[in-house]
Structure 1
Amino acid sequence: MTIVGASLAGLYAARELRAQGYDGRLVVVGDEPHPPYDRPPLSKDFLTGRADEDRLALTDAEERAGLDAEWLLGVRARGLDTAARTVLLEDGRTLATDGLVIATGAKARPLPGAHTLRTLDDARALRARLTEGPQQVVVIGGGFIGAETAASCAALGHDVTVLEAAPLPLLPQLGPQMAAVCATLHRRAGVRFRTGTGVTGLRRTGPATAVDLADGHTLSADIVIAGIGAVPNTAWLAGSTLALGDGVLCDEGCVTASPQVVAVGDVARVGGVRAEHWTSATEQPRAAVTNLLAGRTLATPHPVPYFWSDQYGSRIQFAGRYRPGDTVRVTEGELLDEGPGDDGFLARYERDGTTVAVLAVDRPRPFTRARRELGRAVETATT
């Protein structure tokens, strides 16, 4: 068996293969030279210096040895021949395999002249720049990565402006009411927002960068960080028989058009949906491996999407799926005009009288209970 992708989803797939009784040769290919590491802290504690690289490790040498896998790290896959059941590597090697797990994830959408924050190497480079003293920082994109990075930069004492094309940051994920709450947290910390306008280009102007906006204005920045989405890593599969379209197309069980190939995590479009969630990367591999070993779809994962974000000393947690038109009710704690109360709050998103998502600010225990309720409801609805 071969796993292409040595991050979170790839590691979980390796664990599942061994846990489900596969005792044959197992090869894990990863394009980064690093053993599996945790990405969420990159924009939080790692960027601010509160955590070093040893805190990022998802596994240790002992566990990797226990998995009895060959780890080919720093090697990129460049092709797949499904008929011959071989994976082609950029260094010229060919791996014959009875089954394949595609876990290549996604890469940050690039913007020439701007930093991105997706990999450990990205975070190392940005952290080094941020230690050079107070600077003017412009963050392009107000999603979770952009918002967390902005919060970390502000905590380090930088002057931060966030540019967001939508009317509010996190609007597609949280809806207008709760997106406004998150914007309030930023403003409390002195972070400026420019919303409703896009970026037309970046230009070097001496030591600084000019950020040209669609509304005709220009901002000057010492550091520009782009958090404008991610692109699934499928280029290496061009020319294969697999169906591609904003990810690897799979059925509800993560199985591709070739029964000996499954896909999991950020690269997988499962049942028409590609979900860049930590829960997808950790919960899809169990069903995918079951189906891979069986040679057909027997199991289907139904993870409840889950995000968490640390911003300005507050823990923001969200689970479920928001749709425009959902009703939002604060059921615990207090939400004031100027933002969350001292003890935070828990809000429920309701659709046709049913809770479909929950959001908490500094209410971890009630959130955990509500998230479990959501999970049980999804299981009941799909069995």
Structure 2
Amino acid sequence: MKFLNYIIYGLITLCFCSSLNAQTVKQIEVAGNTPYVDHISLKPGTTDMDLLVKINFDEPNNSLIVSLVSYRKLFVFQDNVRYSHVVRFNKLRPSKLPYVVKSDEKARYKMARSLRKSIKPKRKHIFKSWIKYEGLQPQPTEYKLVNDYIEQKFDILHKVGDVSITLRDILVMNEQFSQGKMKYDLFFQTNLDRTYHISIKRDPCFGKEDAIQTTANLVENIKAGFSALNQKFGSNSSLNTSEGEAIFNEMKALLLKQYPKKEETSTCPDIQANIETYNKYVDAIQNMQCKFKIAKEKHNVILELSAEYILSMARKIDNSTNKWLLSSDNIEKNDLEVTCNQIIDSIETHVQQATDISHDQRVALDIFNKAKIYFRQTCLNK
């Protein structure tokens, strides 16, 4: 029974330790104006041991910047390094590092007792490089042994596809000035074992300033062409000749040839908006109709009454008026009035329909009008 309890206790302990050492994996997104910031507590309950991880996307330079910021001084290994190769007599030897690092030659870098006790076995322990990466190429930088913050810039290798980084060993140190020398105590180390799968959100309009301006100019040009066509041939047009419709159709065809409809699309919202506006103007021109009404041309109508006939009708009215004055028979007077009115209506109907009246006809019409006036003043104004 005791043996079974030991097994259960051992399994629980193993599971607990595994959970403490479990890798943290995060799926994040960064954009040109939206960096990602992660807050990590290296020691729960101590705010001065907090660490900020900042991941920033620099789109103009197609680079990713990873920064570690802490209240404490930080130290990281740029490559995997065995403990026994770089630590002698409990002191870190910068000259033993497999890469060049900037440090104060007079300073002393001591592995604190608390740190040494946490590393077992020391001879086989390997300090891991602080960062691993995929889809990235690190830019050359100067390595420092003592850092207020850690920063590494990466070139992004591919325009499409996610990248990833994994943060590993981070060391924290205290500094103090003693006997004319700086002393640094490396007192804490942890393997963050934290992976970030990074989705890079690029600006779809980045680097497309020329295309944006080109499509904007195209919109302005087709807008000007549409406005000119509408002004000349719209509802307020003054072009009302028989040639107006032909001119309209010719101008419309030229505009449609100059500005064909665009079938392409763009992921850049500004360019896409310009394309859609442009195509709306193309549709408007295509659907535009000639709004003015073509006036019907009037054909010349010759007055078919001869001057002699008009004069004879004028004499007939004068004679009838004189008979009317001499007559005392009302029936006869009424017949004379009817005859004169019929003559006047007939002559005036022909004159109203005519557009071509000769000089002789006009002279005859003047005499006829005087006879008409004499008749109406005499016979109708009783």
Asked if Structure 1 and Structure 2 have the same fold, meaning a TM-score greater than 0.5 normalized by the shorter chain, the answer is: no
Structure-2-length-normalised TM-score: 0.18
- Indicate the structure with greater strand content: 1
Q: Which has the larger radius of gyration?
A: 2
Which structure has the highest helix share of the two?
2
Per the normalisation by structure 1, the TM-score is 0.18
